[in-house]
Amino acid sequence: MKRLFLIALAVSAALACPVEGYVLEDIVWATPNPTIYDNLTASEAKLGANLATFPLQDGSLSYDQVFDNAVADWNSYLQNLQIQAVDGTDPNGTNSSNSLSEAGFASSASGSDLSGDILAVTEIYYYPGNPSTFAPTDIVFNTAYVWNSYRGPLQTPAIDLRRVALHELGHFIGLGHPDQAGQTVNAIMNSVISNTDDLTADDIAGGQSLYGARTSVTPSLPSAPADTQPFVSRAGDFNGDGKQDLLLRNSGDSSVAVWIMAGLAINGYGVIPVATFPYRVFGFADLNGDGKSDVVWQSLVDASVTIWFMNGAQLLSSVSVNPPAPGYNLAAVGDLDGDGLADLVWRNLSTGDTVVMRNTGLVSGQLSFTQTYAQNVGTQQRLIAAANLTGEGGTRVELVWQAQDGSVSAWFFNNASSVSPVAFGQASAGAGATLQGVADLNGDGKDDLLWLDPSGRLVSVWYMNGTGAPVRAAFQAVPASLTFAGAANVNGNGTPAEVFWKDAQTGALTPSLLNHPPQPVYQPTKPAVSPLWTIQPQHQ
């Protein structure tokens, strides 16, 4: 393997003018899914006194997380290239002889010390006789600098790792420095770092000239079968940081957006195109035991289930799960025995037969399940939620049921093999009340139940207390012109969840704590919020 060239990003002041002028390096990836091992955390000891204090300024818990978010940023714009970022364990950071693409901290690149004004270098390689196609390529971040992650103007002495990673990943996909081609252009790809902290239109146009613009096929979604019923899922924690995140779906092209939340700040995001996918988002739970929530999809055609294994905003892989017998639909997902693996509950609505399939983990790349409990509950009960009603640590949840007369009960499991049922009485608005959200709304560690009255304009909360009687709050009016969108503990366990309200006209989201005035309109730009985007699962 022969090195083609090194490309460095320097420290300097830069002037930028809005001129389109991206530059290509005449080299591209032949594979649509190149893998890069981010060894930033593994090699951070090399920073010595320059090692930042975690969490970083933007809430990131590790350097690898910052790099992963930069990869997701580029991926969200490219159609024919999706970089796969894998957290590595190489303390050397990069190693050109191991035939892997790697990113890490080092004081030298290709045997040469990095000079004081060089922030980072991309070592581009190609195979002999094929100079237009990438071979495994490395990214080196200079240990001489203090690395943090933030937005806005440059700071001293902290360097924003995210904008530098975006720049180097631009080289990784085949972009050069537009300002060195005699142009003045506002771009993250300029040869000197600046106050530009995100990909610009010029950067995106350059990447898309090589790999196409991200598109997706508009699906034809059939109506849900008659035996599909609403199930209210807790929000997911897709990066395992203890803060619940948001997943949104676009009703126009069916694409999925994941927002990694740090409070009300979006600490990472990704957009996953979904082409002709006749499924609904059923819920979120950790099915592979990695401490991160996965996405559970249910077919609108044949009741089959597809599970996306997630790493933050990145889709790693997926598996399919079939019903235990014909006539059964997925009714609930959650860790019923507290072993860290979410279990599946299937139900035949024609007969009332309900079975619990205990998750025993991955076997040869597929999830394995064992039936541990079965009961006929009749056809008058609906399984409406899985919630942590006791506040016990870990991932354990209970199943919440509602009868046709509005009365509510819960199953408290004993290792998923036996059940202790508890009745809680009738929902505040009787049979017409519908459960909309499950989240810890008062910060006591227990999930609470948020109800909507039949008019859709009044909301009430049951503050849960294990097997004891819930405290039932009076109904209060939904903010004018808004509808309930979702609830999530975006600030972490032990804090009250934010309730999100959606403006049907603009798609803007407004968060609020219950019994507090709504906060300013929440309208992040990635992806651009519009009426097409809806927080999932959608229960109304």
Tell me the pLDDT tens digit for each residue of 60-99: 778 988 898 888 789 878 889 989 888 888 888 887 778 8
Q: Are residues 255 and 203 in the same domain?
A: no
Q: Are residues 75 and 119 in the same domain?
A: yes
CATH number for the domain spanning 413: value is 2.130.10.10
DSSP at 31:
S
Q: What is the pLDDT of residue 183?
A: 78
Q: Where residue 530 falls among pLDDT bands split at 50, 70, 90? A: low
Q: Is residue 28 part of a domain?
A: yes
Q: Are residues 50 and 178 in the same domain?
A: yes
Using alpha carbons, select from 169, 172, 176 the residue that is nearest to residue 199.
Answer: 169
Q: For residues 92 and 94, give the distance between their C-alpha atoms in angstroms, rounded to a whole number.
A: 6
DSSP at 97:
T
Contact criterion met (CB below 8 Å) for 46 and 147: no
Q: Quickly count: other Cβ atoms within 10 Å of residue 348's Cβ.
A: 20
From 211, 230, 263, the end of a domain falls on 211
Q: Are residues 276 and 404 in the same domain?
A: yes
Q: Strand, helix or coil at 168?
A: helix
168: tokens are 């180097």
Q: Are residues 140 and 8 in the same domain?
A: yes
339: tokens are 């072993």
Contact criterion met (CB below 8 Å) for 78 and 207: yes
The number of distinct structural domains making up the chain is 2
Q: Are residues 183 and 273 in the same domain?
A: no
Provide the domain limits for residue 494: 246-535
Q: Quickly count: other Cβ atoms within 10 Å of residue 537's Cβ.
A: 21
Q: Is residue 221 part of a domain?
A: no
Q: Are residues 199 and 323 in the same domain?
A: no
The answer to whether the pTM exceeds 0.95 is no
DSSP at 204:
H
Helix, strand, coil distribution of the chain in percent, nearest 5? 10, 40, 50
pLDDT digits (tens, 9 = 90+) for 187-220: 999 999 999 998 999 999 999 999 998 764 333 3
pLDDT digits (tens, 9 = 90+) for 124-145: 999 888 999 999 999 999 999 9
Q: Is residue 438 part of a domain?
A: yes
Q: Is residue 134 part of a domain?
A: yes
Q: Are residues 276 and 162 in the same domain?
A: no
CATH number for the domain spanning 107: value is 3.40.390.10
Q: Are residues 367 and 264 in the same domain?
A: yes
Q: Are residues 110 and 162 in the same domain?
A: yes
From 186, 211, 236, the end of a domain falls on 211
Q: Is residue 156 part of a domain?
A: yes
Decide which of 367 and 503 is more confident.
367
Q: For residues 191 and 179, give the distance between their C-alpha atoms in angstroms, rounded to a whole number.
A: 7
